[in-house]
Amino acid sequence: MKAAIITGPGKTPIYGDFSEPTAGPGKELITMSASALSHFTKGRASGAHYSSDRAFPAVVGADGVGRTQDGRRMYFVLPEAPFGALAEMTLVRSGQCVQVPTGVDDVTAAAIVNPGMSAWAAFAERARLKPGETVLVNGATGIAGRLAVQIAKYMGASKVIATGRDKDALEELKATGADVVIPFKIGTAYPAGANEYENALKEQFANGVEVVLDYLWGESAETAIVAAAKAGKEGLPVRFIQVGGASGDDVRLPSAALRSSAIVLMGSGINSIPFSSLLSAINNVLQSVIPANLQINTRSVPLSDIEKTWNADFGKSRVVFVPS
């Protein structure tokens, strides 16, 4: 069968022939119809992600949409090594498949589940988001952050605050659920003074922010934590949920920010949430696509173009590979 094959850590996958999987007890043989290119897929392929098998050669691709041998249309995650989602066929444990609702097309389902699930699981399982609470999404202009804004509103947040570097993209988020937008220029002087970003955040925290969903970490997360500590209300915790590290893996965290506030720092991802809860979040995202009118920009690309697409930048669109 044709597949996107990686031969070693850090290498670009090549389009070639790979042995076909064979179904066994408790396994589903799936014919792939769509599989998105995500940081999760690339991290597992390179061996950098903690869930990677780090075995080569292998077919890349962590998740996708396809048909089982009996014709069911399923979203699947974490195929059995060495098989991956970016191939004509793959092999997945039966318990790692979720049926795709009627009305949600293959490309949309493949594109929306990974970023949507990360937000849904973080809100439901870690933050325990309650209707009427205020949510701040740090790094809201990326694909995952944009969905997080929409999902927060759908799950009952009364106010959603969005931060990000791209002012124009932030303004666009007002049409999909953002009530307040705060641009920043981390690493350089903020336009009207170095403390303007922190002051803007302090104003929001002073008014009450129960949940922060952070996709960036790094300097912007440091600023948000300090602002929350300075402006936080006595005894009212801010649940700070860390889900991504687009701005770096490390922060400098003043100990006083924790001693002088009720901030609760948590991570959200594989291993911090039971796999059964992640599957539940996946199902909830898929079931919500239509009633919540969840929006995601996609770009379909033939699987045969894997080599020239793997490291390309498609901006705000999620690349979804389809059979060539």
Average pLDDT over residues 191-195: 50
CA dihedral sign of residues 2, 7, 9, 15:
negative
Of 19, 27, 15, 13, nearest to 1 (Cα)?
19
Q: Are 84 and 46 in contact (CB under 8 A)?
A: no
Average pLDDT over residues 303-308: 96
Q: Are 63 and 97 in contact (CB under 8 A)?
A: no
pLDDT score, position 193: 41
Q: Which of the four pLDDT bands, split at 50, 70 and 90, describes residue 35?
A: very high
Q: Which residue has better confidence, 250 or 23? A: 23
Cis omega (within 30 of 0) for bond into 82: yes
114-267 CATH: 3.40.50.720
Average pLDDT over residues 172-178: 95
Q: Which residue has better confidence, 223 or 9? A: 223
Average pLDDT over residues 215-226: 91
pLDDT score, position 233: 64
Average pLDDT over residues 179-201: 72
**Quick one: which H or E segment has residue 128?**
none
pLDDT digits 0-9 by tens, 59-103: 999 999 999 999 999 999 999 999 999 999 999 999 999 999 999
Q: Are 38 and 318 in contact (CB under 8 A)?
A: yes
Q: Is the pTM of this model over 0.85?
A: yes
A 10 A CB-CB count for 200 gives 19
CA distance 309 to 43: 16
pLDDT score, position 190: 47
2-103+295-322 CATH: 3.90.180.10
In the chain, what are the domain boundaries? 2-103+295-322, 114-267
Structure tokens at 126: 């870690």
pLDDT score, position 252: 82
CA dihedral sign of residues 185, 191, 197, 203:
negative
Please determine, for residue 249, whether its predicted confidence score (pLDDT) is greater than 80. no
Please determine, for residue 129, whether its predicted confidence score (pLDDT) is greater than 90. yes
